[in-house]
């Protein structure tokens, strides 16, 4: 049996073959571009980093001065307070510059994340309906939150850490070089090894971490789909499939994580270990020269050797931080990739350069040889031509997949057609500004979505500046006013997650009221609400009748009561217009409509009503 998790599994397997290194560089470049707006922050961070590194390196130096000059021999305690003062001032300076740097860095990261998220949000606002059909809301949201959090944790420290590692190394070399060039050279021999192993760690683990991140993102949306679609899972008894598929992918994830852990555990502690071994090397050399009477070191101070050792130990911190930052980059980069993947996805419908704000006066609608498909060369609608006179109501009939929804979605340009023209009052809809077009078309979608907020806000959604009177008028026309008034808080009642729960019928009438507030000349409705009781049906019916009275209407009809009141009926078959005309004309034609009418409506309508009467 095909597993439910198969697509996810295939995805996880596919990932194994991909290498993420080159993408990582281009992602980094892209991330740098977001920094350009904040170049002053970058400059400030750089200056602070220099100050911080210098001050960080002073303490061991002065401790050594104390050892050499105060303790001696010869000892001279009068110098001690001065040295201590320098140490404390340097320390305070370090603390302050560190604090300011961390803060400035943090603010910059917040601004950049905000910019990336805003850009992402804006791009989503412009995506077409089919885009949202293919990517889940949960997935899209977690990209903007969880994934961007990864980017944030990289952005918060990366520049400071990088500069710190480079600058501290340079400053320490500058300090220790004059003391003993040979010892400096010896201690530096470890650097290439550390560099090599850090790079190896990075190259080896990065693809793994990237895969983990990507699998985790998919796993989350898998869980979401499972939870949202739990009813369906139960009805079809696919529970075991869900679990088995989940476990399989989870296993891939765990194994990848453990593999990454294995590589990390080999390389990560290696840097500091090598560095410490460098200290041992310094001692070997020191021991060797100490044994030669009259050699440089034998004359030099014990303090110098201590200084070396302490500076080498100091170097472990920036190196450890740097490898941690490289670790956060891996997660950040996978996250950034997931965000930009969506941001960069093409936006299908856009304003033409010469688009205008045009007012729809009458509402005459003409479709001429309209061809449309979601995928090229696979048209959903083929050569559709018909005209709707102002104020006319057209009921659209057709089997599932006949292109009904696609057809009505073309009018407000939720999709752009591939061939033909759609005109409103003689003007091609592409010559309208998108916002201008959509504001003048009332839309009642199949899924009745209401935002969290008051009833009033929801009804006035398309026209936030609408007066209370307009809102009440719309609610009355949608036959929902009486219900709203019956609520204790009336139009200020909250709906949505925190508010009251409305029935399907109430929601639908709310959405009708919402469509009517702007008093649009054209109305498109997807009246596919099935499984309602007769009373609700009558109420909705009455609302639809009132709403469509004077408006040009395209309505996808499921009920005979809707069809009955339409002026004309359009029957779609496989994306083409099969029949178009009044009820009587089509009955007389003795075609598809008559067959549907006889089998679907005549027989079914009566019993439903009877049942309803009993309720």
Partner 1 sequence: MSGSYGTFSTKQEEKRKRTVPDRVLIGRVFDYAQAHRRSLIIGISATVAGALTGLASPYMHAIAIDRIITPKNVAGFIWWIPLFAAIILGNYVFQYIQTYQMRVVGEKVVAKMRDDMMEKLQVISLRYFSEGETGRIISRPTNDANTVRIFLRLGLTSILVDVSSILGAFAIMFYLDLRLSLLAITVLPVAIVLVWYLGKYSRAAYRRTLITTSGLTARMQEDLAGIKVTQAYAQEKETEKKFLKSQDENVKATIRAILIGSSYTPFVIGLRLIGTMIILFYGVNAVLTGTITLGILVAFTEYQFSYFMPLVDLVTMYDQYQSAMSAIERMFDLIDTRVEVVDALPERSIALP
Give the footprint of partner 1 on residues 409-468 (CB under 8 A): 412, 414, 434-439, 441, 443, 445, 447, 449, 451-454, 457-458, 461-464
- Listed in order, strand segments (DSSP E) in 463-602 are 494-495, 522-526, 552-556, 568-573, 576-581
From 173, 188, 257, 578, residue interacting with partner 1 (rule: CB under 8 A)? 257
From 162, 191, 233, 605, residue interacting with partner 1 (rule: CB under 8 A)? 233
Q: How far is the CB of 94 from partner 1 (least distance, A)?
A: 7
From 377, 469, 497, 613, residue interacting with partner 1 (rule: CB under 8 A)? 497
From 7, 32, 43, 141, residue interacting with partner 1 (rule: CB under 8 A)? 141
Closest CA to 123 of 107, 138, 143, 103: 143
Residues near 462 by beta carbon (within 8 Å), at least 6 away in sequence: 439, 442, 514, 515, 517, 518
Concatenating the DSSP letter of every residue in 41-95 gives HHHHHHHHHHHHHHHHHHHHHHHHHIIIIIISSSP-GGGHHHHHHHHHHHHHHHH
593 belongs to the binding site for partner 1 (CB under 8 A): no
Q: How far is the CB of 585 from partner 1 (least distance, A)?
A: 32
Identify any residues that bridge with 555 across adjacent strands, giving them in sequence order.
395, 525
Q: How many CA atoms lie within 13 A of 356 on its CB side?
A: 6
Closest to partner 1 by CB, 505 vs 571, is 505
Please write down the HEC assignment for all residues of 178-192: CCCHHHHHHHHCHHH
191 belongs to the binding site for partner 1 (CB under 8 A): no
Closest to partner 1 by CB, 430 vs 514, is 514
Interface characters, 111-140, with partner 1 (x: CB under 8 A):
x--x--xx--xx-xxxx-x--x----xx-x
Q: Return d(Cα 124, Cα 145) in angstroms, integer.
A: 14
Residues near 289 by beta carbon (within 8 Å), at least 6 away in sequence: 295, 296, 297, 298
For the segment 557-576, give every residue that binds partner 1 (CB under 8 A). Answer: none
Q: How many beta carbons lie within 10 A of that of residue 366, not counting itself? A: 17
Q: How far is the CB of 86 from partner 1 (least distance, A)?
A: 11
Closest to partner 1 by CB, 465 vs 469, is 465
Closest to partner 1 by CB, 41 vs 580, is 41
Q: How far is the CB of 613 from partner 1 (least distance, A)?
A: 30
Give the chain's radius of gyration (CA, Å): 36
3 state DSSP class of 293: coil
For the segment 91-110, give every residue that binds partner 1 (CB under 8 A). Answer: 91-92, 94-96, 98-99, 102-103, 106-107, 110
From 37, 247, 489, 549, residue interacting with partner 1 (rule: CB under 8 A)? 247
For the segment 262-291, give every residue that binds partner 1 (CB under 8 A). Answer: 262, 264-266, 268-270, 273, 276-277, 279-280, 283-284, 286-288, 290-291
498 belongs to the binding site for partner 1 (CB under 8 A): yes
Closest CA to 315 of 195, 137, 152: 195
Q: How far is the CB of 474 from partner 1 (least distance, A)?
A: 13
Q: How many beta carbons lie within 10 A of that of residue 85, not counting itself? A: 11
- Listed in order, strand segments (DSSP E) in 486-590 are 494-495, 522-526, 552-556, 568-573, 576-581
For the segment 28-67, give every residue that binds partner 1 (CB under 8 A). Answer: 59, 63, 66-67
Q: How far is the CB of 535 from partner 1 (least distance, A)?
A: 23
């Amino acid at each position: 049996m095909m597993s439910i998790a198969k697509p996810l599994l295939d995805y996880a397997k596919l990932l194994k073959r991909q290498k993420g290194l080159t993408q990582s560089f281009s992602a980094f470049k892209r991330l740098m571009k977001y920094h350009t707006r904040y170049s002053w922050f970058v400059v400030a961070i750089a200056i602070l980093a220099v100050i911080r590194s210098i001050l960080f390196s002073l303490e061991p130096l002065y401790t050594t001065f104390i050892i050499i000059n105060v303790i001696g021999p010869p000892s001279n305690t009068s110098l001690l307070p001065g040295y201590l003062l320098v140490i404390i001032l340097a320390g305070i300076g370090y603390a302050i510059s560190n604090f300011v740097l961390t803060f400035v860095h943090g603010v910059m990261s917040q601004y950049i994340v905000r910019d990336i998220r805003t850009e992402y949000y804006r791009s989503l606002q412009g995506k077409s309906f089919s885009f949202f059909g293919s990517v889940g809301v949960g997935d899209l949201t977690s990209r903007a939150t969880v994934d961007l959090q990864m980017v944030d944790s990289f952005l918060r420290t990366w520049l400071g850490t990088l500069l710190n590692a480079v600058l501290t190394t340079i400053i320490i070399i500058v300090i220790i070089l004059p003391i003993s060039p040979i010892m400096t050279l010896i201690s530096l021999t470890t650097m290439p090894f550390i560099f090599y192993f850090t790079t190896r760690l990075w190259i080896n683990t990065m693809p793994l971490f990237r895969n983990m991140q990507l699998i985790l993102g998919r796993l989350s949306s898998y869980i979401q789909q499972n939870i949202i679609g739990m009813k369906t899972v139960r009805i079809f008894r696919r529970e075991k499939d869900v679990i088995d598929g989940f476990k399989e992918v989870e296993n891939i994830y765990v194994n990848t994580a453990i593999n990454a852990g294995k590589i990390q555990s080999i390389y990560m502690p290696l840097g500091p270990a090598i560095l410490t071994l460098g200290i041992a090397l310094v001692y070997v050399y020191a021991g060797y020269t100490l044994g030669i009477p009259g050699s440089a070191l034998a004359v030099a101070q014990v303090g110098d050797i201590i200084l070396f050792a302490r500076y080498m130990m100091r170097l472990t911190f920036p190196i450890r931080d740097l490898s941690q930052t490289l670790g956060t980059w891996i997660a950040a980069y996978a996250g950034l990739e997931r965000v930009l993947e969506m941001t960069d996805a093409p936006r299908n419908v856009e304003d033409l350069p010469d688009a205008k704000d045009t007012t729809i006066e009458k509402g005459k609608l003409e479709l001429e040889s309209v061809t449309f498909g979601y995928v090229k060369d696979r048209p959903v609608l083929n050569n559709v031509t018909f005209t709707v006179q102002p104020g006319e109501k057209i009921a659209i009939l057709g089997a599932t997949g006949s292109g009904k929804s696609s057809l009505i979605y073309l009018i407000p340009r939720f999709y752009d057609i591939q061939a033909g023209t759609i005109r409103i009052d003689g003007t091609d809809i592409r010559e309208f500004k998108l916002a201008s077009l959509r504001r003048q078309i009332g839309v009642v979608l199949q899924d009745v979505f209401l935002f969290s907020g008051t009833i009033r806000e929801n009804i006035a959604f398309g026209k936030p500046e609408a007066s209370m009177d307009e809102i009440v008028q719309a609610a009355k026309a949608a036959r929902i006013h009486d219900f709203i008034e019956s609520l204790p808080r009336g139009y200020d009642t909250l709906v949505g997650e925190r508010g009251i729960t409305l029935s399907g019928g109430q929601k639908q009438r709310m959405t009708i009221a919402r469509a009517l507030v702007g008093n649009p000349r054209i109305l498109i409705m997807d009246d596919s609400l099935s499984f309602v009781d007769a009373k609700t049906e009558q109420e909705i019916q009455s609302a639809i009748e009132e709403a469509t009275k004077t408006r040009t209407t395209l309505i996808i009809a499921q009920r005979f009561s809707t069809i009955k009141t339409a002026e004309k009926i359009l029957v779609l078959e496989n994306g083409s217009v099969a029949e178009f005309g009044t009820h009587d004309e089509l009955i007389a034609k003795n075609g598809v409509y008559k067959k549907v009418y006889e089998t679907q409506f005549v027989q079914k309508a009566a019993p439903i009503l009877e049942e309803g009467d009993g309720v």
